[in-house]
Amino acid sequence: MTSELDWIARQENKVARQLAAALNQEERNEFDYHWNMIARSAQLPPDGEWRVWLIMAGRGFGKTRAGAEWVRSIAESHSEARIALVSSSLAEARAVMVEGESGLLACSPPDRRPEFEPSLRRVRFPNGAEAHLYSAGEPEALRGPQFSHAWCDEVGKWPISHSRATRAWDNLLMGLRLGDDPRIAVTTTPRAVPLVQRLLKQETSQATAVTRGSTYDNSANLPARFLEAIADEFAGSQLGRQEIEGELIEDIEGALWSRSLLEQSKEEAGPPGFRRIVIGVDPPTSSTGDECGIVVAALGEDNKAWVLADCSVARAQPEQWARAVAEAAHHWRSDRIIAEANQGGEMVESVLRAADAGLPVKLVHASRGKVARAEPVAALYASDRVRHAGNFPQLQDQMCGMLIGGEYAGPGRSPDRLDALVWALSELMLGRAASPSVRSL
């Protein structure tokens, strides 16, 4: 029956409908699970003798479904298959690759659905094929087992500290020695980390096939509100080109920050308590051009600085950006506002006081250039003393555009968000700290 559906899928729509009408109900039920009937061509394995198929595309492209369907096709056609399912953690491997909405269990027909054995980290297919879950955070777990195939999900977010991502990949390659045609499918959002760059360098060889795409390629299956939300959040940013368009944004030569360093500093949430919270403010010189940089940072009980929020506003009148600062101060219960006063210091303080007379404002004057002020803060990142509690795309774009030689490569004409970050982190980590107090979110 599968071969019949394959043949129907290759026919013109009118012919396909006529042929489908002749099928019985059991055969029609197969349509929802017949991937070749509904997949876009970019979601199907490419032709050729490739060993690695890399799908590098924007969020919502359908990468997970493509990976799961490839694994299912391998398992159903090779009863002896032993497949590695590798993600950044075991929890993500289970939640996304196996039990997710586009995972193995969801895309399998009820009568051929595999059995998931969480305690054994194993997925068993009815015909005897097996898939085993692994975490890239535990590279040594991949040393020893043998596989015929593998699906590696979101390699761009595999842990890169202590070279764990590349060690996990190398151990996987050395274990891929079962069967006559061992292959790996890799699904990821593009990120400029060593492993992704390494895979792309192999694109010129026949051993690696690369599929690229954007979020909008799958717009027919995505909610309109989601598409609107990501456009509002990421439009115009380099991270938007990466996360939506699926473009790999390379580091600028000579930049103070690299994207891989910022990825390494990111956490899903901050520590439970903070000793001190400040807000860095870089006021705009006009209401028509530059942004007002407003960045919230804290000194954690772990003695690391944590970037908590980017509340920056664009094209705002003085009372508007001052109100945004006051709202951030109340929300985060900040101890101090650190505001640059080079451009009209008295005006900056008076505007902030007008928004809230009780704001604890400290004016700072820039006696050195932007790069000279930013370099000590970049050193804090390099020594793993700063963490990001979440993702701040526009701030990170500006950080990666600041060059050692003194120039700013963009985006925009001025790194206002970065300046605010530098003032906040300098106050917390490079200046005289205020008396600590215990805080919690």
> Which tens digit of pLDDT belongs to each residue from 199-222?
998 887 778 999 999 999 999 888
Task: Express as a percent the part of the chain with pLDDT over 70.
Answer: 87
Q: What is the pLDDT of residue 175?
A: 96
Q: Residue 16 pLDDT more than 70?
A: no
Number of structural domains (the chain) is 2
Same domain, 56 and 198: yes
- Looking at this protein, which amino acid is placed at residue 48? G
Same domain, 295 and 337: yes
- The pLDDT confidence band at residue 438, using thresholds 50, 70 and 90, is very low
Non-local CB neighbours of 68 within 8 Å, separated by 6+ positions: 97, 102, 103, 104, 106, 107, 151
Instruction: Give CA–CA dist 14/39, Å, rounded.
Output: 18
- Judge whether 17 lies within some domain: no
Cα 23–Cα 24–Cα 30 angle in degrees, nearest 5: 80
Across 347-351, average pLDDT = 79
Cα 22–Cα 27–Cα 32 angle in degrees, nearest 5: 115
- Judge whether 240 lies within some domain: no
Instruction: Give CA–CA dist 375/370, Å, rounded.
Output: 9
Q: What is the pLDDT of residue 242?
A: 81
Q: Which two tokens stand for residue 365?
A: 């004057």
Across 119-138, average pLDDT = 97
- Judge whether 139 lies within some domain: yes
Q: Which of 182, 197, 232 corresponds to the end of one domain?
A: 232
- Domain of 130 in residue numbering reads as 39-232
Same domain, 167 and 62: yes
- The pLDDT confidence band at residue 439, using thresholds 50, 70 and 90, is very low
Same domain, 281 and 349: yes
Same domain, 223 and 283: no
Q: Chain-centre distance of CA 54, in angstroms? A: 17
Q: Which two tokens stand for residue 59?
A: 């969020």
Same domain, 208 and 285: no
- The pLDDT confidence band at residue 441, using thresholds 50, 70 and 90, is very low
Q: CA distances (Å), 178 to each of 78, 124, 182, 362, 373, in order?
A: 12, 18, 7, 65, 55
Q: Which residue has the higher pLDDT, 324 or 357?
A: 324
Neighbours of 186 (CB within 10 A): 26
Q: What is the pLDDT of residue 27?
A: 65
The residue length of the chain stands at: 441
Across 407-436, average pLDDT = 81
Same domain, 228 and 124: yes
Q: Which of 215, 232, 249 corresponds to the end of one domain?
A: 232
Q: Residue 437 pLDDT more than 50?
A: no
Burial (0-12, 13-18, 19+ Cβ within 10 Å), 47: exposed
Same domain, 170 and 279: no
- Judge whether 9 lies within some domain: no
- The pLDDT confidence band at residue 434, using thresholds 50, 70 and 90, is very low
What's the CATH number where 337 sits?
Answer: 3.30.420.240
- Judge whether 250 lies within some domain: no
Same domain, 188 and 72: yes
Residues 43-84 have pLDDT tens digits of: 999 999 999 999 999 989 999 999 999 999 999 999 999 999
- Judge whether 254 lies within some domain: no
Q: What is the pLDDT of residue 163?
A: 84
Instruction: Give CA–CA dist 320/311, Å, rounded.
Output: 12
- Judge whether 373 lies within some domain: yes
Q: What is the pLDDT of residue 147?
A: 98
Strands 313-314 and 291-300, sheet pairing:
antiparallel
Q: CA distances (Å), 263 to each of 73, 192, 193, 393, 434, in order?
A: 34, 9, 8, 11, 30
Same domain, 207 and 334: no
Same domain, 141 and 263: no
Same domain, 219 and 263: no
- Judge whether 25 lies within some domain: no
Q: Which of 232, 249, 281 corresponds to the end of one domain?
A: 232
What's the CATH number where 82 sits?
Answer: 3.40.50.300
Q: What is the pLDDT of residue 234?
A: 74
